């Protein structure tokens, strides 16, 4: 009974966190996109390598877990930020931020911390830039693309009469936005939130169950003697769990001092913080299964690569 109450409490906390973040972040990004469109276009909407660096830096400054980063991802996609740039942010946000870096330095020392940040920074840039060379439209769900096209068609036509209507609509929109822009943007975000609500309920429910039933002594009992193979096993297990990197660093330190190889713990830490089953469920609202496989594979690749480096260094 006590465990069920713990799971229910976890579910309510996770559900409230994601719900509030989704609406507030959507409102904030939509407002900024309307007010500072030129700035937004200049810094995030260009498909250039510098833009990817900016996206990674933005991810470093937003201390979100894997699920909490979805609201900002959704808002970026609605604002027409390229998918490759969004991926750079999506991978970075739960894995690098000032809090994580400080905890890494305190727990594992400056050398490992700098190597962790430098390795992730370079690999995330490389992977996200490679994704940008694919036709990314194939990854989106038809519903998401349909909504996107409807928004475009409401104010995009080539004939003169449509342009006049478009300009008139734009002028009226700007007037209304000045009068009550926050309220209007809030209701737009709430409509988006209702579409993703079932995914949030399912995803957060699974996340709470995983946190409630995952055995605390798993690594001591099952992973201590696997050697290099443990790096691969830890990555594939971690990518399905739901954890916060900040909360897991002290646990990882305690487990490494008890004899668990650092490479195994780093592989598990990156995979578990960078991706999760609840996050994949939330992403399913936007993307096809092919993207979910690609995204999870990128996280597993990063986790295994860094884990192996830690194992042999």
122 vs 262: which has the higher pLDDT: 122
User: What band does 293 get if pLDDT is binned at 50, 70 and 90?
Assistant: very high
Question: What are the φ/ψ torsions at residue 287 (nearest 5 degrees)?
Answer: -115, 160
From the CA atom positions of the chain, what is the Rg in Å? Answer: 21
Interval 290-313 mean pLDDT: 91
Percent of the chain with pLDDT over 70: 67
Predicted local distance difference test score (pLDDT) of residue 156: 45
Task: With beta carbons less than 8 A apart as the criterion, state whether 230 and 223 touch.
Answer: yes
The closest alpha carbon to 91, from 276, 286, 305, 277, belongs to 276
245 or 119: which leads in pLDDT? 119
Q: How many CB atoms lie within 10 A of CB 297?
A: 13
Instruction: Give the whole-number percent of the chain exceeding pLDDT 90.
Output: 12
The answer for 63, left when phi > 0, alpha when psi is -120 to 50, beta otherwise, is beta
pLDDT higher for 102 or 180?
Answer: 102
Residue 3 has pLDDT above 80, yes or no: no
Q: 214 near 252, Cβ under 8 Å?
A: no
pLDDT of residue 177: 47
Task: Report the mean per-residue pLDDT for the chain.
Answer: 76
Supply the pTM of this predicted model. Answer: 0.73
Q: Is the pLDDT of residue 301 over 90?
A: yes
Instruction: State how far the alpha carbon of 210 is from the alpha carbons of 63, 206, 214, 233, 276, in Å.
Output: 22, 6, 6, 17, 10
| pLDDT band of 295, cuts 50, 70, 90 | very high
Q: In whole angstroms, give the CA distance from residue 17 to residue 10.
A: 11
pLDDT value of residue 122: 93
Most confident by average pLDDT, 132-136, 158-162, 273-277, 301-305: 301-305
Mean pLDDT of the region 173-198:
65
pLDDT value at position 299? Answer: 94
**How far is residue 293's CA from residue 106's CA, in Å, rounded to a whole number?**
34
> Each residue of 82-102: pLDDT tens digit?
888 889 989 998 888 787 888
Lowest mean pLDDT among 60-64, 70-74, 84-88, 298-302: 60-64
């Amino acid at each position: 009974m006590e465990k069920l109450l713990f799971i229910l409490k976890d579910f309510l906390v996770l559900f409230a966190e994601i719900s509030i973040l989704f609406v507030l972040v959507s409102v904030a990004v939509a407002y900024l996109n309307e007010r500072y469109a030129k700035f937004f276009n200049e810094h995030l909407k260009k498909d250039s390598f510098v833009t990817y660096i900016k996206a990674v830096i933005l991810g470093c400054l937003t201390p979100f877990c894997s699920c909490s980063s979805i609201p900002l991802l959704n808002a970026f996609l609605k604002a027409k930020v390229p998918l490759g740039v969004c991926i750079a942010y999506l991978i970075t946000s739960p894995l690098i931020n000032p809090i994580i870096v400080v905890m890494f330095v305190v727990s594992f020392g400056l050398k490992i911390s700098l190597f962790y940040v430098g390795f992730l920074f370079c690999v995330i840039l490389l992977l996200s830039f490679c994704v940008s060379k694919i036709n990314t439209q194939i990854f989106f769900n038809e519903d998401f693309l349909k909504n996107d096209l409807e928004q475009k068609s409401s104010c995009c036509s080539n004939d003169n009469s449509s342009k006049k209507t478009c300009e008139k609509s734009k002028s009226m929109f700007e007037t209304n936005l000045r009068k009550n822009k926050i309220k209007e943007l809030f209701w737009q975000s709430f409509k988006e939130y209702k579409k993703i609500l079932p995914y949030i309920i399912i995803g957060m429910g699974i996340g709470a169950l995983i946190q409630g039933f995952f055995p605390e002594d798993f690594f001591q009992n099952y992973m201590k003697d696997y050697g290099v193979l443990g790096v691969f096993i830890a990555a594939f297990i971690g990518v399905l769990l739901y954890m916060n990197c900040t909360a897991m660093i002290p646990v990882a330190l305690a487990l490494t001092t008890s004899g668990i190889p650092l490479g195994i713990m780093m592989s598990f830490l990156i995979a578990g913080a960078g991706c999760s089953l609840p996050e994949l469920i939330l992403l399913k609202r936007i993307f096809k299964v092919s993207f979910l496989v690609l995204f999870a594979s990128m996280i597993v690749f990063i986790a295994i690569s860094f884990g192996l480096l830690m194992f042999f260094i």
